[in-house]
Amino acid sequence: MMRVIITGGTGFIGIELSKSLAADGNEVIVLSRNPAGKPLPDGVRAEKWDGKTAVSWGHLVDGADAIINLAGENIGGSGTLPDRWTPARKERILNSRLDAGNAVVEAVTAAQDKPKLVIQSSGVDYYGNVPEGVVTEASPPGKDGFLANVTVPWEESTAAVAQMGVRHVIVRTGVVLDKDGGTLDTMMLPFKFFAGGPVGSGKQGFSWIHIQDAVRAIRFLLAQTAAQGPYNLCAPEPVSYKDFSKVLGQVMGRPSFVPAPAFAVKLVLGEVADLVLNGRFAVPERLLAAGFTFDFPDPQSALADLLG
């Protein structure tokens, strides 16, 4: 049995991951600012933290098998449509990630019996906007755009644990598809009104992953004692936004030919429009090389499972 500590454990991926780990008899502790505020899966317990320090939970790290750091303010916001990136929101998005990373390093530094592993979350936005070709874990970071500038220091926030002999894994996650909220709900909204279709040019790369495969991949990396460094957490078949929209329309039984012009999207969303107007074709080269197999490698199988 493992003891696993998950920061951001009450978030989108954290809930499903903690449920999966606890179902197999592992001791799962999620850190939350409001431990009583959200129902947790059976067998999962919550501990209070401030998101910035290890003061209230650092003692739990001694002898732990892993810390999985998923904490950070939601990039898209909490509504159906993304919230604008005001200067204040940008600051919160960045600082919430750096603060959480610093807290993890603080806890590991103080632990007498160091955890075996720290898994640090990140995103495929690390690569910036890449209109053509595929990106792998060996591709350089993007130089322009808010999200590319967030992910680099985000990944580095826990890098110091490697110097303490702790295995350090980074998961650069694509758009996570789940039937209970999140990005897929937002993408489905215009289709429900028979107004779905490509956004902007539709040529931008769309790197995605089914929630079930996201959880399986994280658990796979937890178990692979030789795994370290960055891994793209996305399906092996990235597609253009236009092609994904076409498949989504087919699965929903809705047309997918009504475009959303880039200027209109920018007018409504401001800079946060980068979430849908920019993209990259990220492939999970290192996951595949390590022997991981996807249950849902293509958009058709993923959407049929989630919406069927």
CATH for 295: 3.40.50.720
pLDDT at 167 over 70: yes
Alpha-helical segments (H) within the chain: 12-23, 87-110, 146-156, 183-192, 211-223, 241-252, 262-269, 274-277, 285-289, 299-307
Closest CA relative to residue 136, chosen from 189, 100, 172: 172
Residue type for 37, please? G
Across the chain, mean pLDDT equals 94
Q: How many helices (H) and strands (E) does the chain have?
A: 10, 13
pLDDT (tens digit, 9 = 90+) per residue, 152-166? 999 999 999 999 999
What pLDDT is attached to residue 79? 64
What pLDDT is attached to residue 80? 65
Which pTM does this prediction carry? 0.95
What pLDDT is attached to residue 303? 97
Three-class DSSP category at 38: coil
pLDDT at 216 over 70: yes
pLDDT at 35 over 80: no
- Structure tokens, 224: 């692979």
What pLDDT is attached to residue 283? 98
pLDDT at 181 over 90: no
Q: Strand pairing of 239-240 and 205-206?
A: antiparallel
What pLDDT is attached to residue 263? 86
Number of domains in the chain: 1
pLDDT at 255 over 80: yes
Residue keyed to tokens 């107004």: 195
What pLDDT is attached to residue 177? 96
Residue keyed to tokens 């591709």: 139
Structural domain boundaries, residue 233? 3-307
Residue 102 to residues 54, 99, 141, 154, 210, Cα–Cα distance (Å): 9, 5, 22, 10, 30
* Contact call for residues 172 and 121 (beta carbons, < 8 A): no
